[in-house]
Amino acid sequence: MAKREKEKKSEANELKEKLFMKRKNTGLEMTESETAKADKFCEGYKSFLDTGKTEREACAEAVRLAEKAGFVPFDKTASYKAGDKVYVCNRGKAIILAVIGKEPAADGVRLAAAHIDSPRLDLKQNPLYENEGLAFFKTHYYGGIKKYQWPVIPLALHGVIYKADGERVDVKIGEDAEDPVFVITDILPHLADEQYKRPAPKLIQGEELNILIGSRPFRDDNASEAVKLNIMCILNEKYGITESDFISAELECVPAYKAKDVGFDRSMVGAYGQDDRVCAYTALSAILGIKGAPDRTAVTVLTDKEEIGSEGCTGLCSAYLKYFIYDLGECFGVNGRDVLSRSKCLSADVNAGYDPTFSEPFEKLNASYCGRGVVLTKYTGARGKSGTNDASAEYVSEVRRVFDAAGVIWQTGELGKVDHGGGGTVAMYIANLDVDTVDLGVPVLSMHAPFELTAKNDIYMAYKAFKAFFKG
């Protein structure tokens, strides 16, 4: 009796082995040497995060790395051969990089698309004011933030100011050890009775995200707004600007701290702006590392404006990517639309990692998990897949085979339970160009918070996935 039961069990186990999906657990699947490679890879990733905290800075860093790797500005009148490396910078806020393939253009391109803008606080066009001896900047937040997460953390100011005569001034203050930082205040708990009655989305309201920038008055007995005047004097001395120059400025407030390892085991990266610079860096590294000529032309686009809907000339609703593909096609005497129709895309964006502390909005069977590999997301959207690209089974099958052949550790993941919110990526805008597209990215904890978390193993697997995609 005992023996028969044992036999039965082993038959069941055999069938399970054959028929059930194997759940990934990279803690066991990643080899020691690959874990070491992941750790090393993430050192470069952390410095990329620290260097590029805004879309402009990330774009400039991508240009620098591209030129170092032998990429040159694309010239649509030039003729290109397999292995040539080109890039196009769109207004300093987005970049397209390409390595010409052996089957140039006619056979379509392999496209990886990530975004380099992140949620933040932008200064208003008339930001500076004084109230009861304190000087502040008014802000208008950019992207989806939980507003209560942004007070009482050190903030840095990054961006550009164009003066009345058109001269450009670059601003980056709060990052060096000797720099001052800025901060949004919050009310002390002793006096928070009324604040506590507010619903969570209004705990801190948009017009309360005022950044404290000074408290010392200009030394003159009769001046009103003496603190504001003192700040303007400092700004004029440092940058040569007057108050009206804020009108033609883009100044972005971001957390002032640097990327750090997280955990006793240093298995995670904690930093601001990992959505979506984690995919930007991995997709960028994959294209920069291409040796010789790939079969098909490889393209990485790092875009702007995703967090506010991809509108505007530097976002992927604009025609800049399409124009590049058309120009590239023309270099080889191929119609742009034919190149697009034969192209394939990985829309590279993060997904929500399952959070055991806040498990309620996740559906465990279809959630993605930190540390279990890069996540392939067939569709995003909300309320019955509204506002999404839903990748075809054919294309998912193709991508899946490429990853498996290359030893990529990957998982599938949907963004939360049905009807519990939702979100979108650039996938649908690229798919709208008649390009087969699927979402791929890294699971993130505390997404859109000023300090987001990712697992190093997943970051490395994203890099491996893009490498395999460009080859496959």
Q: Which residues bind Mn ion (CB under 5 A)?
A: 275-276, 349
Buried b / exposed e along 430-444 (16+ C-beta atoms within 10 A): bbebebbbbbbbbbb
Strands 249-255 and 155-162: antiparallel
Q: Return the residue matching tokens 């010409």.
A: 100
Alpha-carbon distance 175 to 60, whole Å? 17
Q: Smaller CB distance to Mn ion: residue 127 or 270?
A: 270
Q: CB 73 → Mn ion: shortest distance, Å?
A: 27
Alpha-carbon distance 329 to 100, whole Å? 11
Q: CB 18 → Mn ion: shortest distance, Å?
A: 38
Tell me whether residue 356 is exposed, middle or buried, using C-beta atoms within 10 angstroms of its C-beta: 0 to 12, 13 to 18, 19 or more. exposed
Q: CB 437 → Mn ion: shortest distance, Å?
A: 15
- Cα–Cα distances (Å) from 211 to 153, 208, 293, in that order, read 11, 9, 50
DSSP string, 300-317: EEEES-GGGTS-STTSTT
Q: CB 444 → Mn ion: shortest distance, Å?
A: 9
Q: How does DSSP classify residue 84? A: -
Q: Smaller CB distance to Mn ion: residue 245 or 452?
A: 452
Alpha-carbon distance 440 to 399, whole Å? 10
Q: CB 315 → Mn ion: shortest distance, Å?
A: 12
Q: Smaller CB distance to Mn ion: residue 127 or 273?
A: 273
Beta-ladder partners of 440: 348, 376
Q: CB 115 → Mn ion: shortest distance, Å?
A: 6
Q: Smaller CB distance to Mn ion: residue 120 or 158?
A: 120
Q: CB 149 → Mn ion: shortest distance, Å?
A: 14
Q: Smaller CB distance to Mn ion: residue 318 or 380?
A: 380
Q: CB 350 → Mn ion: shortest distance, Å?
A: 5
Question: For residue 81, what are its two tokens?
Answer: 């051969």
Q: CB 447 → Mn ion: shortest distance, Å?
A: 7
Q: Smaller CB distance to Mn ion: residue 57 or 349?
A: 349
- Rounded (5°) CA angle 242-244-246: 90
Alpha-carbon distance 247 to 335, whole Å? 42
Q: Smaller CB distance to Mn ion: residue 130 or 349?
A: 349
Question: What's the half-sphere exposure (Cβ side, CA atoms, 13 Å) at 337?
Answer: 0
Alpha-carbon distance 285 to 62, whole Å? 10
Residue 100 contacts by C-beta under 8 Å, 6 or more apart in sequence? 80, 81, 82, 83, 84, 85, 86, 293, 297
Strands 249-255 and 72-73: unpaired
- The CB-nearest residue to Mn ion is 276
Q: Smaller CB distance to Mn ion: residue 52 or 104?
A: 52
Q: Smaller CB distance to Mn ion: residue 57 or 275?
A: 275
Phi and psi at 410, nearest 5°, equal: -140, 165
Contact between 36 and 267 under an 8 Å Cβ cutoff? The reply is: no
Q: Smaller CB distance to Mn ion: residue 61 or 275?
A: 275
Q: Smaller CB distance to Mn ion: residue 61 or 276?
A: 276
Q: CB 304 → Mn ion: shortest distance, Å?
A: 12
Q: CB 1 → Mn ion: shortest distance, Å?
A: 58
